[in-house]
Amino acid sequence: MHIRVAVIGGGSWGTTVAHLAAHNAPTTLWARREDTCEEVNSRHTNSRYLDGFELHPDLRADADMAAVVQNADVIVMGVPSHSFRDTLEEVAGHIRAWVPVVSLTKGLEQGTRARMSEVANQVLPGHPVAVLTGPNLAKEILAGDAAASVVATHDPVVADHLQQIFNTRLFRVYTNPDVIGCELGGAFKNVIAIAAGMADGLGAGDNTKAAVITRGLNELSRLGESMGGQAVTFAGLAGLGDLLATCMSPQSRNRHVGEQLGRGRSIEEVIADMRMVAEGVKTCAVVVQLAEERGIQMPISSEVRAVCHEGATAEDAYRGLLRHDGSRLEHHALSF
């Protein structure tokens, strides 16, 4: 394959996707830190984020944005939501016409509440935009465990080409035209993962955690469908699949945040100790705001917001979640 891939962002997931793409196409990783680029090029590792894992030997890294972007046939954005727009504006100065942009970011932009594909369409009008999302934990993929993901885009030709770039023997990529649903599933599940982590931190049992995950899926599905996503998407890899992996895995940043909150630490302490971004901390406030505007009650997400932004404790949250609204009909209950 002669398509040249540029991955923007040298964190754990950006590096992992660059590693996957390098199996199928010449791939360059852009990272801000010169020492990260040097390590990727000389030792084929990124110990800052993925210590102990080897990267594809053909993967190259460069801190020069112009050099990385100007010859690329596909741009993959692997930066957090809060820096997505600014970084993409940097990319815009060097990208060639019609080059597709793929978002790896599972969050919503603060202030505008825009999905990342919407940000990309604003910054780079005319460029095809796609999303790569699913239950994908970076270290498991680098360890060689089988995984599946979804490329979401409205253009079936672009979807086919991207599928070929990211597909490997152990990383199966499916396509889905529901960009809205795939992006919202990826953003909303981080909020539920914080709630699941709080259950772990509080020492709650698996029954409780299963209830949180199941009712959480109901919340994200109702809000996602109200915003234009498709029900089948939320039942698939980009919805349920991603939700399960993020709620259960010790590798999940958002679950980790919840667990630490459940152990009594403050949100400020938890964030200060983290090297990587947990998108759900910011997303929870946006999710509840979106739900309120649509008249949708989301008790789990509301409790997460209260703990992350309003000074409530994890114990407060779980007392709140155990209140009943009087309904016992599963799919119509507003809490569990």
Q: Are 163 and 151 in contact (CB under 8 A)?
A: yes
134, 251: one domain: no
pLDDT of residue 332: 36
Alpha carbon distance 30, 133 (integer Å): 20
pLDDT tens, position by position, 22-42? 999 999 999 999 999 999 999
Please compute the mean of the pLDDT values over residues 136-154 and round it to a whole number.
96
pLDDT of residue 334: 34
140, 14: one domain: yes
Alpha carbon distance 264, 313 (integer Å): 7
* Sign of the alpha-carbon torsion through 83, 85, 86, 87: positive
pLDDT of residue 319: 85
pLDDT at 155 over 70: yes
Alpha carbon distance 126, 142 (integer Å): 34
263, 313: one domain: yes
Beta strands across the sheet bearing 101-103 = 60-62, 27-30, 5-8, 74-77, 101-103, 129-133, 147-152, 171-176
Alpha carbon distance 287, 323 (integer Å): 21
Residue 282 carries which side chain, given as an amino acid letter? K
pLDDT of residue 273: 87
Alpha carbon distance 183, 138 (integer Å): 18
170, 216: one domain: no
234, 141: one domain: no
Task: Tell me whether residue 189 is one of the annotated catalytic residues.
Answer: yes
pLDDT of residue 205: 84
**Within its chain, how far is the Cα of 178 from the centroid?**
16
- CATH code of the domain covering residue 310: 1.10.1040.10
Residue ending a domain, among 147, 177, 207, is 177
136, 125: one domain: yes
pLDDT of residue 335: 44
Residue ending a domain, among 122, 155, 177, is 177
State if pTM tops 0.85: yes
Q: Nearest 10 degrees: CA dihedral of 103, 107, 112, 117? A: 20
Q: Are 194 and 255 in contact (CB under 8 A)?
A: yes
296 vs 205 pLDDT, higher one: 296
- Residue of 106, 189, 209, 282 marked active site: 189
Range of the domain at 142: 5-177
Please compute the mean of the pLDDT values over residues 135-156 and round it to a whole number.
96
Residue 277, token pair as written in the block:
């971004």
Q: Are 280 and 243 in contact (CB under 8 A)?
A: no
- CATH code of the domain covering residue 65: 3.40.50.720
Alpha carbon distance 103, 115 (integer Å): 10
* Domain count along the chain: 2
165, 103: one domain: yes
188, 156: one domain: no
139, 10: one domain: yes
73, 191: one domain: no
132, 274: one domain: no
- By percentage, how much of the chain surpasses pLDDT 90? 88
**Within its chain, how far is the Cα of 189 from the centroid?**
9
Phi, then psi, of 102 in degrees rounded to 5:
-115, 125
- Average pLDDT of the chain? 92
Q: Are 216 and 194 in contact (CB under 8 A)?
A: no
pLDDT at 322 over 60: no
pLDDT tens, position by position, 234-269? 999 999 999 999 999 999 999 999 999 999 999 999
What is the DSSP pairing of strand 74-77 with strand 101-103? parallel
pLDDT of residue 331: 42
190, 168: one domain: no
pLDDT tens, position by position, 108-134? 998 999 999 999 999 999 999 999 999
pLDDT of residue 320: 54
Alpha carbon distance 253, 222 (integer Å): 24
pLDDT at 329 over 60: no
Residue ending a domain, among 119, 149, 177, is 177
> Model confidence at 62, in pLDDT bands (50, 70, 90)?
very high
Alpha carbon distance 183, 127 (integer Å): 18
pLDDT of residue 1: 54
Alpha carbon distance 135, 201 (integer Å): 22
pLDDT tens, position by position, 268-321? 999 998 877 788 899 999 999 999 999 999 999 999 999 999 999 999 999 854
